[in-house]
Amino acid sequence: MVDLKKFVRDVADYPKPGIIFRDITPLLADANALEAATDALAELFEGEDIDVIAAAEARGFIFAAPLALRLGVGFVPIRKPGKLPYDSHTHSYDLEYGSDELHLHVDAVEKGQRVLLVDDLLATGGTMEACCRLLEKTGAEVVGCAFLIHLVELGGERRLEPHRCRSVLNYGG
């Protein structure tokens, strides 16, 4: 059994003083840790019916595509403005300073499809909440949100209710 936390590097004061950044690049660079993390993510919602995996760029793509292949389902990318060429749903959301926007092709998922959302990290949940809103516009059903890392004290899980959040590694809380 791989101790995945050993492969997460704590970088102090990034992106600003007082913040500890949980850097997963050492985990990604280690073949065994990468595989163990992917296995663990796949187990979070094991046994549930899932038709599609979706994730927001960019780090979300790293685990979402392997999960889609492992589950034998398709992968749907959720993107920043100016990246998707076809008609898209859009959702704006507030950041600490300013706002951001995510896009999803209108034909990316079908009504009633069961979608598992994936990201590397759950902090305040703003990005994942935007992903949920986008998928709700399509009539798809969000099965849940799977994360490699959950920063428990930031309250993201409550923000994403009633959607279920599950994570491989918990920090704080």
Tell me how far, at minimum, the Cβ of 136 lies from its own copies, in Å.
18
Looking at residue 73, what DSSP letter applies?
-
For position 106 contacting its own copies by CB under 8 A, the verdict is no
Shortest spacing between CB 138 and its own copies, in angstroms: 12
Directed axis angle between helix 31-44 and helix 59-71, to 10°? 70
For its own copies, the closer of residues 1 and 31 by Cβ is 31
User: Which tokens belong to 24?
Assistant: 């997963």
> Least Å distance between CB 51 and its own copies?
9
- Closest approach, Cβ 40 to its own copies, in A, equals 13
Residues 6+ apart with CB under 8 A from 25: 9
Distance from chain centroid for Cα 4: 18
Please state whether beta strands 9-12 and 74-78 pair in parallel, antiparallel, or not at all (unpaired).
unpaired
Per-residue contact track with its own copies, 10 to 29, x per CB under 8 A? -x--xx-----x-x-x--xx
Binder of its own copies out of 6, 9, 48, 92 (CB under 8 A) = 9
The span from the first CA to the last CA of the chain, in angstroms, equals 24
Active-site residue set? 59, 96
Taking the C-alpha atoms of residue 25 and residue 119, their distance in angstroms, rounded to an integer, is 14
* Biggest CA-to-CA distance, the chain: 45
Question: How many angstroms separate the CA atoms of 117 and 173, rounded?
Answer: 23
Between 62 and 91, how does the x/- string for binding to its own copies read (CB under 8 A)?
A: xx-xx-xx--xxxxxx-x--xxxxx-----
Residues at the contact surface with its own copies, assessed by CB under 8 A: 9, 11, 14-15, 21, 23, 25, 28-31, 34-35, 38, 52, 57-59, 61-63, 65-66, 68-69, 72-77, 79, 82-86, 105, 108-109
